[in-house]
Amino acid sequence: MSLFDSMGGDDVSTSGGGGFGFDEREEIPDVEFPKAQKLAFEKEMLGLYVSDHPLFGAEDFLARRTEVGLDSLAECEDGAIKTVGGVITNLQRKWTKKGDLMGVFVLEDLKANVETMVFPRTMTEHGHKLEDDAIVLVKARIDKRDDMPKLIAMEIEVVEGVSDSATPFRLRVMPNRLTAELIAQLKEILLEHPGDHPVLLHLGDDKVLRLPPAYGVDAETGLVSEIRVLLGPAALVE
């Protein structure tokens, strides 16, 4: 009930009914926020992503460009320099006693998260790239002096428009042709043309293998001609 219910009867209109009642409820518009904005609101209000995650659909992209996952940092040596990836959360900008600006944030992937320090020298060069919910690649030194590993950022690269929806690059090879030598040659060619297109290998007409993310290719760099030389024109699947 409302404080103003006694001012009128059941009529919710201010005209035409003779009563003074009205409906004070706000109409909620039927609006669907863009994914990034909706996830940012969820993180701000609840402290976690609920309906989706910024990294869903970017797993293969990050796997191709990082050296280790955040859940494996404990296995690395103290002081090792590795490239890792994830989404920035809980970003804070602080001032040192000398008056220099530094940053602290939590880098999060789909399996773990880790506190990341950006000291003033790195902050000067890369600080403008930092914002909550940004997907980044971080070249960092691993600090294991405490119980939980931390990262000391050295270089930061923001990646935008990340998606694993790129058209697959499809190849067909008869199983009886897959000798150790041919497999080695095929791996070498694929690794020489890195990109975001996943490779699907059709073994005859029945079985299809998705190659690991490390073998994603850029089909616009002369890869097609090299595949034709190695496997023949019929190996390319439209």
Q: What is the mean pLDDT of residues 166-191?
A: 87
Query: Over 60: is that where the pLDDT of 9 sits?
Result: no
Q: CA angle, corner 48, sides to 75 and 120, nearest 5? A: 60
- Over residues 113-148, the pLDDT tens digits come to 999 999 999 999 999 999 988 899 999 999 998 888
Report the pLDDT value the prediction gives residue 92, as an integer from 0 to 100: 94
**45-69: pLDDT as tens digits:** 877 777 667 777 777 778 878 999 9
If pLDDT is split at 50, 70 and 90, which confidence band does 15 have? very low
Contact of 55 with 86, CB cutoff 8 Å: yes
pLDDT at res. 107: 95
Given a cut of 80, whether residue 93 has pLDDT beyond it is yes
Q: What is the pLDDT of residue 13?
A: 47
Instruction: Look at residue 119 in the predicted model and tell me its pLDDT.
Output: 96
Radius of gyration (Cα) for the chain, nearest Å?
Answer: 27
Reported confidence tier of residue 188, pLDDT bands at 50, 70, 90: very high
The pLDDT, as a whole number, for residue 157 is: 94
3-state secondary structure the chain: CCCCHHHCCCCCCCCCCCCCCCCCCCCCCCCCCCHHHHHHHHHHHHCCCCCCCCCCCCHHHHHHHCCCCHHHHHHCCCCCEEEEEEEEEEEEEEECCCCCEEEEEEEECCCCEEEEEECHHHHHHHHHHCCCCCEEEEEEEEECCCCCCEEEEEEEEECCCCCCCCCCEEEEECHHHCCHHHHHHHHHHHHCCEEEECEEEEECCCEEEECCHHHCECCCCCHHHHHHHHHCHHHECC
Q: Is the pTM of this model over 0.95?
A: no
Q: What is the pLDDT of residue 57?
A: 72
Place 95 in a pLDDT band, splitting at 50, 70 and 90: very high
Predicted confidence at residue 206, as pLDDT, reads: 76
- pLDDT cut 70: percent of the chain above it: 84
State CA 129 to chain mean position distance.
16
Q: pLDDT of 20-53, one tens digit each? A: 555 667 777 777 777 667 777 777 787 777 766 7
Whether 199 contacts 211, CB under 8 Å: yes
**pLDDT given for residue 25 in this prediction:** 73
Domains of the chain with bracketed CATH: 59-158 (2.40.50.140), 169-235 (no CATH)
Closest CA to 140 of 63, 54, 59, 67: 67
Residue 189 token pair? 């060619």
Residue, of 159 and 213, whose pLDDT is higher: 159
